[in-house]
Every structure is written in C-alpha cells, then in structure tokens.
C-alpha cells in the first residue's frame, strides 16, 4: 500500500499519522496539507513541514484553552503531540545530542500532558520504580470509581513513545471498559531521550517491575492483567511473559520470534557474513552506501544504533542476536493472541514461527490487505485491529462459569 508517497518509509509514516485520526491523533486534511510540501525522501522538508503543522495546531490549542474551550483545546493538543513526534522521526544523525530532537520530543510530551489534563476520563502520570531509577508512564482509567477493572499493560516498539500509546490502544481500551497502564521502557521515548536507557533483550526485567506497580493500584484487577506489545514490543512482551506469570492474557501486535533473523533475511548473504565475522571495515561502508538510497534502511539503522547503544550499523545488527524466543516461547503459559499483517515484509513469517513455538492456548489472526489492514501493526486500520483484539480479550477474560441464579 502506498499512501501519498511512493517512498515506502514516508508512505508508512504518513499512514501511521493519518491512522491515529480515529482517536484524535490527527486530522486527515492537516496530514494531506502537510505532506504535499514534502518531496520524496526529503527528510529536512519532512521535519520542517510537520513541525510547522505541530506549532500551528499547538497554538490553536493554547488559544482555545485561554478562551475556556476545553474540548477544542484537548483535541488540538492531542494532534500537536502526534505531529511533533512525527516531525522528529527522521532526525537521526546524532539524536542523543541533537537540540532539535530534544525540543520536538519535549513538545510532544508537553502537549500530550496538557491534553491529558482536559480528558473526560482520569489520566495519571506515574513513575514506575525500575532498578535504580524510574520509568515514565500514564495510567488511563475508565472512571474514578475505584472499581477494579481489567487492565492492559502496553509496551510500545522500536521507535514509539509513551504518548503514542493513547492512540495505539488507550482510547480503544477505555471505550470497552479496560484501564491502560502504558510506559516508556529502555530504548523508548523519554527513557531513551532523557534518561539515555537503551534496549535490553531480557524484557522481563522491565515488565516485572511494571506488574509489581500495577498490583499496588486498587483500580486494577490483579486477575485480569493483559500484556500487549506493539511492533518490536511483540517480541519484548513475549519474552517477558515467559518469565512473568501473573498475566491473564498476552497480545502480540505483531508476533516477532527472532529480531535478528528479521534483519538478516533482508540482507545480502555476503553482508550478513561480514557483519557476523566483525569485518566492520568492510560491512559498514557497504551499509552506509546502501543507506544513501533507501530511506527506510537509513532511518532503521540509525535509530537502531541510538536505541540499542551501538557503535555502528554492524554493531547494532549483532546486538539483535539476543532478541529471540528460541528456548523460551514454550515457557509462556497464558492465552495468547498473535496478530499478523499480510504486507509486512520485515516481520514476514515471524508470527507463524511464534505460533509454532507456543505450547499455551493461542490464536493467530492474519489481517489482509483487502481490508486495508495488511500494513505493519495494521496502520491505517486501527478500528479493525482493536475489534479483533478486544473481542478476543472479552471472550478470553470472561469467567469460565457464571454464578448461580
């Protein structure tokens, strides 16, 4: 599927931004007006135009709030938050030290926080104890009654942020009576940008403290905890669930069995061999040459170097070796929903590998291109994704027996 661009990466990221319109994360006209001034593969124009749109919509929100128009302000702040995140997306030359990355990501967090204060349902910014620090999170509650409810613990992916969680799953969950506890783990959002925490393969070390925190909250039903992962999060939460057994259900969007294989199957065999042999004086120049003509590859490898704490593209690819469910998938014991996307080239075959390895009750659902849901994580078809996910959860979490009478 190509959406407003022929460039695969620009098309997907534009579809991602537009797809969040379902839950107030964008307005289609604003998306179209923004990208019409961006040429194929022009990362500088991408940042300039999305930043300008974000600033304009941010100003609309500020004026609306000053005039007492709370709903209009909330809607504008939500869109601005999403647009600031989108603007920063390709800024990956030196993101750890780039003032523009700091500015835009900070504004994305700031505008979302402003929107959260204006929401009709309770939203609480939380800090989750993790090792010798804390992780930033949001607890989205159905209401303020204190009633224990089923709760989704949401883990985002390779390039996602905490604020994106509301559009990816939070709003849909609240509509169906589920609370959501979302967080930035190492390698993600503010945990990467502000705390400089990088990804780790043993994600149970991240999820177990999050579950510990969740169980301190009276609004969260301890018997109906759902762990959900998005993109790379599909591996992260599966790995965590192999060791964290306080879960009622697991959702993988999409299933990812071996992150390293997902990279190497897209590479020429000679290049994979050079990377594995640590012939970086050969592999990195070739990789850098390939990156010049491929937006998706250039972004993915630069983001990987940053988020994994690597020294080079070759070093990043080697660090992905430990991100596998080999030898641990059979330890998952809760019912599991595995989603697949028909057009996802990077994850191709991975969801089926997860399904083949599981011994717990599990369901594999492939969403097709014919329904507009065939892109990675079903971008552009969020209603369909949420229908599949929450209908399955409603059934899975239903009491096995009904009380007498």
C-alpha distances in Å from residue 23, one per residue of 17, 18, 98, 166, 324: 11, 10, 31, 8, 33
Which of 259, 261, 263, 257 minimizes the C-alpha distance to 325? 257
Which of 52, 49, 61 minimizes the C-alpha distance to 24? 61
Q: 231, 272, 283, 312: which is the annotated catalytic residue?
A: 231
Query: How many CB atoms lie under 10 A from the CB of residue 248?
Result: 18
Provide the angle, in degrees to the nearest 10, between the axes of the packed helices 295-307 and 280-292.
130
| CA angle, 252 then 349 then 370, to 5° | 80
Query: How many CB atoms lie under 10 A from the CB of residue 131?
Result: 11
Q: Judge whether 1-120 and 121-258+323-396 match in fold.
A: no
Containing H/E element for 183? Answer: strand 179-183
Q: Which ranges of 293-381 would DSSP assign to H, the alpha helix?
A: 295-307, 313-319, 350-357
SS3 state at 205: helix
Q: Which residues pair with 124 in a beta bridge?
A: 139
Q: What is the DSSP letter of 170?
A: I
Tens of pLDDT, residue by residue over 202-226, are 999 999 999 999 999 999 999 999 9
**So where are the chain's domains?**
1-120, 121-258+323-396, 261-321
Using a 10 angstrom Cβ sphere, with 0-12 exposed, 13-18 middle and 19 or more buried, the burial of residue 194 is middle
Which residues, in sequence order, are CB contacts of 15 under 8 Å at separation 6+? 1, 3, 375, 379, 380
For residue 254, is the peptide bond before it cis, meaning its omega torsion is within 30 degrees of 0? yes
Is residue 11 part of the annotated active site? The answer reads no
Each residue's pLDDT expressed in tens, for the chain with a length of 405 residues? 789 999 999 999 999 999 999 999 999 999 999 999 999 999 999 999 999 999 999 999 999 999 999 999 999 999 999 999 999 999 999 999 999 999 999 999 999 999 999 999 999 999 999 999 999 999 999 999 999 999 999 999 999 999 999 999 999 999 999 999 999 999 999 999 999 999 999 999 999 999 999 999 999 999 999 999 999 999 999 999 999 999 999 999 999 999 999 999 888 899 999 999 999 999 999 999 999 889 999 999 999 999 999 999 999 999 999 999 999 999 999 999 999 999 998 888 999 999 999 999 999 999 999 999 999 999 999 999 999 999 999 999 997 444 443
Instruction: Determine contact, residues 364/389, Cβ cutoff 8 Å.
Output: no
Q: How far apart are CA 215 and CA 238, in angstroms?
A: 20
Would you list the DSSP string of 8-34?
A: HHHHHHHHHHHHGGGGTS--HHHHHHH
Predicted pLDDT at 401: 41
Using a 10 angstrom Cβ sphere, with 0-12 exposed, 13-18 middle and 19 or more buried, the burial of residue 228 is buried
Query: How many CB atoms lie under 10 A from the CB of residue 24?
Result: 19
Q: How far apart are CA 237 and CA 334, in angstroms?
A: 12
In the chain the first and final C-alpha atoms are separated, in Å, by 52
- Domain 1-120 sits in which CATH superfamily? acylaminoacyl peptidase (1.20.1440.110)
Please state the pTM of the whole predicted model: 0.95
SS3 state at 284: helix
Predicted pLDDT at 346: 86
- Domain 121-258+323-396 sits in which CATH superfamily? Alpha/Beta hydrolase fold, catalytic domain (3.40.50.1820)
Predicted pLDDT at 402: 43
């Amino acid at each position: 599927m190509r959406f407003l661009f022929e460039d695969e990466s620009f098309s997907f990221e534009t579809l991602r931004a537009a797809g969040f319109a379902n839950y107030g994360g964008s307005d289609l006209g604003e998306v179209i007006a923004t990208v019409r001034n961006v040429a194929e593969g022009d990362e500088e124009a991408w940042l300039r135009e999305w930043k300008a749109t974000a600033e304009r919509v941010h100003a609309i929100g500020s004026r609306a709030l000053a005039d007492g128009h709370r709903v209009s302000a909330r809607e504008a702040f939500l869109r601005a938050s999403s647009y600031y995140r989108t603007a920063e997306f390709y800024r990956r030359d030196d993101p750890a030290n780039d003032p523009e990355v700091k500015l835009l990501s900070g504004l994305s967090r700031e505008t979302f926080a402003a929107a959260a204060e204006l929401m009709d349902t309770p939203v609480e910014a939380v800090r989750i104890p993790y090792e010798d620090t804390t992780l930033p999170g949001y607890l989205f509650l159905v209401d303020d009654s204190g009633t224990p409810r089923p709760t989704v613990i949401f883990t985002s992916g390779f390039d996602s942020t905490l604020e994106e969680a509301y559009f990816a799953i939070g709003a849909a969950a609240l509509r169906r009576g589920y609370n959501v506890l979302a967080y930035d783990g190492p390698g993600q959002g503010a945990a990467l940008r502000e705390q400089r925490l990088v990804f780790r393969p043993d994600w149970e070390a991240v999820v177990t403290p999050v579950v510990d925190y969740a169980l301190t909250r009276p609004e969260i039903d301890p018997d109906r905890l759902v762990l959900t992962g998005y993109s790379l999060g599909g591996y992260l939460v599966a790995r965590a669930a192999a060791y964290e057994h306080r879960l009622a259900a697991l959702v993988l969007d999409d299933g990812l069995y071996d992150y390293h294989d997902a990279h190497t199957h897209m590479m020429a065999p000679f290049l994979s061999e050079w990377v594995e042999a640590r012939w970086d004086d050969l592999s990195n120049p070739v990789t850098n040459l390939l990156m010049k003509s491929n937006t998706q590859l250039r972004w993915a490898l630069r983001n990987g170097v940053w988020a994994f704490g690597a020294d080079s593209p070759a070093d990043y690819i080697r660090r992905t070796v430990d991100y596998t469910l080999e030898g641990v998938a059979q330890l998952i014991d809760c019912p599991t929903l595995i989603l697949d996307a028909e057009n996802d080239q990077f994850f191709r075959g991975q969801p089926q590998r997860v399904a083949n390895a599981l011994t717990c009750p599990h369901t594999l659902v492939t969403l097709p291109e014919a329904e507009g849901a065939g892109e990675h994580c079903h971008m552009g078809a969020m209603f369909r994704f949420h229908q599949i996910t929450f209908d399955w959860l409603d059934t899975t979490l239903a009491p096995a027996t009904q009380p007498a009478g």
